[in-house]
Amino acid sequence: MRTLYSLAIASASAGLCCSLSWSQVSQRPGFGAVPYTQGSQFGVTFRVFSPNASSVNVAGSFNFWNSTSMPLYSEGNGYWSVDAPNIQAGSQYKFVIRNGTQTLWKNDPWARDLTNSVGNSVIYNPASYVWQSNSYQAPTWDRIVMYEMHVGTYGTSASGNPPANFDQCTARLDHLQELGVNMIVLMPTTEFAGDVSWGYNGSFPYSVEAAYGSPNDMKEFIDAAHARGLGVNVDVVYNHLGPSDLDMWRFDGWFQNVNGVEGGGIFFYNDERVVTPWGNTRPDFGRGEVRTYLRNNALMWLEEFRADGLRLDGTKFIRRIGLTGPDNPQGWSLLQWINNDIDAVSPGKLIVAEDMDVDSWITKTTGEGGAGFDSQWDSSFYPRVRGNLISSSDASRDMWAIRDAVAFSYNGSMQQRVIYTESHDEVANGRSRVPEEISPGDAGSYWARKRSTLGGVLVMTAPGIPMIFQGQEFLEDEYFRDNVPLDWSRKTTFAGIFLLYKDLIKLRKNVGGTTRGLSGFSTNVFHVNNTDKVLAYHRWQNGGQYDDTIVVMNFSVTAKNNYRIGLPRSGTWHCRFNSDWTGYSSDFGNTLCLSTSTSPVAWDGLAQSALVNIGPYSAVILSQGATFLPEDINLDGFVNATDLAILLAAWGTSGGPSDIDGDGTVAGADMARLLAAWQ
């Protein structure tokens, strides 16, 4: 079955060439360098956009870099093409473009691989990778827990210094499976200047960064993630390109200077619209060839690379010219077009905007006039939360601000926002990791551990798609830099904090079957005590036992004992989580979190209420329904041969109640836990 990406390539290129009679013009689809086979014949179709060229040639390792021996032929619409026989994948090449007196040696804008950002383009065969994890199914959006990763610093390179590569990151995927997250948000991986970068300065949108590996290495990483039950969301940058090592700049020698602004040529605006905060390299969103270039790029990651979604960086600078305007209708319609085409073929792919303008139109459907994104990073959440975590004074903590952070939504949907206390932007640019900001120079202090994990509870229990940044789960300190790797020794040092995040993620995904409400669509913040710094809220999907979930948070240094809160249902409520447990850190207070029964005392506008205990800077999570062990797979109150039989029948499968430890696979570790709990 041909994908939308391949159909888009075929229809666009066929419309350009197939009506022409010249035998030299390629009749095959595709842009850049596309290997072909036909019977015993093989070769490469070259096609490039260069409307102002007087001639275009391809030079490479296959013709001794001769600049005139292999011409491309004009298709009459700005594109040039040729079928070049007997050339194989792996060959290096460049286009040689002549425009008047100019002779320009340019890398291919569609290059699928490069030796490096100032090297040569490399012919790549997309069919050369054989996928292994063909049965992977991405989690439903209400169960997604995201983990933002930077390839260069997440893995451990041979030297110990960044950049790490995809293979070295693959070696660390078991850590994520153990943690329980199920969606990696991969910071940009396209070819950028040099070997060390955040990735937001990509110069070749179709090529994988050479320092990270080959296109097949990236596919192998995604394949390995899928095999572990981990999805991959790819970060793409369309608001600007480069600005350095940018061969697309004035690609065929033509450009205009309008209103004193130097234009970028055929791929970029040639007036004040070209200006961005990162350089004057905004693509021309009104030019059909550029729109197709970007739209096809989005489809490539989703279809050929099997990514499970995209994060579009800085969409504000696609839909606007400047930070606050004016609007750019060409950019807005491009976003709508990309989202519509993705929805047409891959409605399960999660497309996220980083817009940061708290604008509900970003996630409204295109039919309503919106941009059509499925979700967006919520810039209203983290400032309210981080500020209240970092403050050294309990008196200054504002529970109403926390209430607003929890209760906010876009268009009434909890899935339309991604929430976090740490991201690559929020732990750099003059800011540090949350524990570091709480206790500068002592990110492992009691106060840093207590209050940063309180933020972790908010992220995992508030409505929204939760996300943590790499290393947050083991209290990584200082600030994010692309030349400093993660300190993996902290996973041992702060093993209890890692366990806390692991337990929270299980509850968020409802692995134990007792907290369905944490991924539900309804929220009621019913208790706000700004004097004692206590907040409580109710999360639910349909309501009832194992669904109605209550989160109670204490933002003060003083433990709260026999503290009364309202509850939505009568009966006994069981403690499912207590962040003050000494299992998370030996110096935590272990404030008792017991089952509590309601009484008909009206409180918080609710007919029932009960007494709870909450430790200092701590949270407890409650729900109803019999307390049972995760090893009791059939929930009959006993761990016995029946549970063992169910586990053995599910051996080797992914997830489900038999996955007792929640690592994504039913295996020996689950059996060991079941046998240890045998009754």
Identify the pLDDT of residue 11: 46
The distance of Cα 553 from the centroid of its chain, to the nearest Å, equals: 28
| More confident site: 629 or 80 | 80
Q: What is the pLDDT of residues 489-505, one digit of tens each?
A: 999 999 999 999 999 99
The Cα 401–Cα 387 span in angstroms is: 10
Provide the token pair at 192: 């950028």
CATH number for 364? 3.20.20.80
Last residue of a domain, one of 481, 509, 537: 509
Same domain, 608 and 654: no
Identify the pLDDT of residue 628: 66
pLDDT of 22 higher than 50: no
pLDDT of 622 higher than 50: yes
Same domain, 110 and 198: no
> What does the pLDDT average to over 352-373?
98
Same domain, 496 and 522: no
Q: What is the pLDDT of residues 540-593, one digit of tens each?
A: 999 999 999 999 999 999 999 999 999 999 999 999 999 999 999 999 999 999
Measured at the CA of 375, the angle between CA 369 and CA 377, to 5 degrees, comes to 115
Q: Output DSSP code: residue 140.
A: P
134 within domain boundaries: no
CATH number for 612? 2.60.40.1180
pLDDT of 18 higher than 50: no
567 within domain boundaries: yes
| Three-class secondary structure of residue 578 per DSSP | strand
pLDDT of 153 higher than 50: yes
299 within domain boundaries: yes
Identify the pLDDT of residue 438: 98
Same domain, 32 and 167: no
pLDDT of 28 higher than 80: yes
pLDDT of 594 higher than 60: yes
Identify the pLDDT of residue 1: 35
Q: How is 472-516 classified by DSSP, letter by letter?
A: GGGT--S---TTS---TTHHHHTHHHHHHHHHHHHHHHTTTSS-G
The Cα 291–Cα 624 span in angstroms is: 53
- pTM score of the predicted model: 0.91
Q: What is the pLDDT of residues 95-125, one digit of tens each?
A: 999 999 999 999 999 999 999 999 999 999 9
Provide the token pair at 170: 């693959």
Same domain, 532 and 455: no
612 within domain boundaries: yes
634 within domain boundaries: no
> What does the pLDDT average to over 393-410?
98
Provide the token pair at 1: 């079955």
Q: What is the pLDDT of residues 200-245, one digit of tens each?
A: 999 999 999 999 999 999 999 999 999 999 999 999 999 999 999 9
Q: What is the pLDDT of residues 278-328, one digit of tens each?
A: 999 999 999 999 999 999 999 999 999 999 999 999 999 999 999 999 999
pLDDT of 434 higher than 60: yes
Identify the pLDDT of residue 21: 33
Identify the pLDDT of residue 531: 98
Q: Output DSSP code: residue 519.
A: G
> Three-state SS string across 481-493, please?
CCCCCCCCCHHHH
pLDDT band at 13 (very low <50, low <70, confident <90, very high): very low
Contact 401, 384 (CB under 8 A): yes
| Percentage with pLDDT > 70 across the chain | 96
Q: Mutual orientation of helices 288-303 and 4-17 as an angle, nearest 10°? A: 150
pLDDT of 128 higher than 70: yes
Q: What is the pLDDT of residues 172-193, one digit of tens each?
A: 999 999 999 999 999 999 999 9
Same domain, 220 and 307: yes
Same domain, 500 and 589: no
458 within domain boundaries: yes
> What does the pLDDT average to over 50-71?
98
Same domain, 380 and 486: yes
> What does the pLDDT average to over 449-478?
98
| Percentage with pLDDT > 90 across the chain | 90
Identify the pLDDT of residue 5: 53
Same domain, 574 and 649: no
- Among 296, 313, 452, which Cα is nearest to 385's? 452
The Cα 201–Cα 408 span in angstroms is: 33
Structurally, the chain folds into a number of domains equal to 4
Q: What is the pLDDT of residues 512-528, one digit of tens each?
A: 999 999 999 999 999 99
pLDDT of 16 higher than 50: no
Same domain, 304 and 388: yes
454 within domain boundaries: yes
Identify the pLDDT of residue 443: 97
Whole domain around residue 94: which residue ranges?
4-9+24-128
User: CB-based contacts of 6: which residues, under 8 Å, 6+ apart?
Assistant: 29, 303
Same domain, 395 and 467: yes
Same domain, 292 and 392: yes
The Cα 560–Cα 222 span in angstroms is: 46
> What does the pLDDT average to over 9-17?
44
183 within domain boundaries: yes
